[in-house]
Amino acid sequence: MERYDAVVVGAGAAGLNAALVLGGSRREVLLLDGGPTRNAAAQAAHGVFTRDGAAPTQLQALGLADLAPYPVTVRPGVAREVKPWDGGFALRHDGGWVQARRLLFASGVRDVLPNVPGLRARWGRTVHHCPYCDGWPNRESALAVLGSHQEGHHLALSVRAWSDRVVLLTDGPDELTDEQREDLRRVGVPVISTPILRLEGKDTVRVRFRDGERLPLDALFLNPTQVQRSSLPASLGCELNAKSRVVVNENGMTSVRGVWAAGDMTGAPQYVMSAAASGMLAAVSLNTTLIHENVRRLGAAFHKSPDGEGGRAPSGGEAS
């Protein structure tokens, strides 16, 4: 069985940056590229330092190319099974079993889109999730938010920062409170509760309602339900919160010793830069535990200094 210091599951922004940091720390790393990233359908990513407007597929290609000088093995395929093994872990992927001293999950979440005909085909093109990513290209445009109850209310109020022409579509009877309806009225966001028949259009989006009416738009925003792409953290016993996100501390440590998680799967803000940053924090924390483990094997230790700061990793990493 091949042995690695760490296996990183997922090659989005969090996983790529984690692998980069670990490889640069002279660790033997296996990076499992589980397929297209969650934002792969988007035409451009925004708010990305030095790469604003780059396509997500381009960002991933650049991230993979950055790994070339380092001891990082990249393999396609999905992590299928994992179990504790010999003080670390054994993990089965599409190419067989490998051993790892540590695991870092960055496998992300999957969007569960509303069952509106025509919506999935327009996802990432004229139907979007994040106004910080796609608000600027659609500024001062005719926009709609699809949603009801609190999430629809919050997203509609937020999207209005990019355009004064915003409408909330509830696709049937809404679950808004009287106070929420009054909020929307005060900021000039009308609410349409007519059921939607389908979405149409190519470069723009047109909503066709079941009563025959149509609503031309430039773009539509929604906040979809999300589920974990990988069940392996849960199978290991990692704690999940009420939204099924993996619970981590400030350094990406899960509730299971030797396992870290980063990116969207943890409930962190869902931006490319946030995911990359969380991947770095988790990788530094993971590597610090390996440093301490190796030092202990040689009979030495990081002793506490008189001010109590000894044993802390550089720049906020966490000791094992």
86 Cβ neighbours under 8 A, 6+ residues apart: 99
Domain count, the chain: 2
Distance of alpha carbon 310 from alpha carbon 255, whole angstroms: 24
Question: Which pLDDT score, from 0 to 100, does residue 305 have?
Answer: 53
Tokens matching residue 17: 């940056």
Whole-number pLDDT of residue 282: 98
Residues 103 and 18 in one domain: yes
Considering the domain architecture, whether residues 211 and 230 belong to the same structural domain is answered as: no
CA distances from 100 to 30, 83, 143, 227 (A): 9, 10, 48, 26
Here the tokens at position 53 are: 């407007």
Q: What is the pLDDT of residues 197-226, one digit of tens each?
A: 999 999 999 999 999 999 999 999 999 999
Residue-wise pLDDT for 251-305, tens only, equals 999 999 999 999 999 988 899 999 999 999 999 999 999 999 999 999 999 876 5
166, 188, 222 — which closes off a domain? 222
Please check whether residues 211 and 118 belong to one and the same domain.
Answer: yes
Residues 89 and 127 in one domain: no
The three-point CA angle 193-195-199 to 5° equals 115
Residues 132 and 264 in one domain: no
Other CB atoms within a 10 A radius of the CB of residue 179 amount to 8
User: What backbone torsions phi and psi does residue 131 show, to the nearest 5 degrees?
Assistant: -70, -25
- Please report which residue ranges of the chain form alpha helices under DSSP H: 13-23, 56-66, 119-122, 131-134, 149-159, 178-186, 232-236, 272-297
Residue type, 84: P
Q: Are residues 104 and 121 in the same domain?
A: no
pTM of the model: 0.91
- Same domain for 172 and 303, yes or no, is no
Domain identity same for 241 and 206: no
Which residue in the block uniquely carries the two structure tokens 């708010």?
Answer: 47
CA separation for the pair 58, 193 (Å, rounded): 39
Q: What residues are paired with 73 via a beta bridge?
A: 30
CATH number at residue 193: 3.50.50.60
Same domain, 232 and 204: no
With CA atoms as reference, report the closest residue to 75 among 29, 25, 39, 20.
Answer: 29
Residue that finishes a domain, picked among 156, 188, 222: 222
| Same domain assignment for residues 35 and 162 | no
Q: Which two tokens stand for residue 181?
A: 């309806």
Cα–Cα distance, 132 to 162 (Å, whole number): 9
Instruction: Give the range of the structural domain holding residue 6, as residue numbers without chain letter.
Output: 2-110+225-316
> What pLDDT, on a 0 to 100 scale, did the predictor assign at position 236?
97
Instruction: For residues 288 and 233, give the distance between their C-alpha atoms in angstroms, rounded to a whole number.
Output: 21
Which regions of the chain are under pLDDT 50? 307-320
237, 104: one domain: yes
Q: Which of 162, 197, 222 is the last residue of a domain?
A: 222
Residues 33, 68 within the same domain? yes
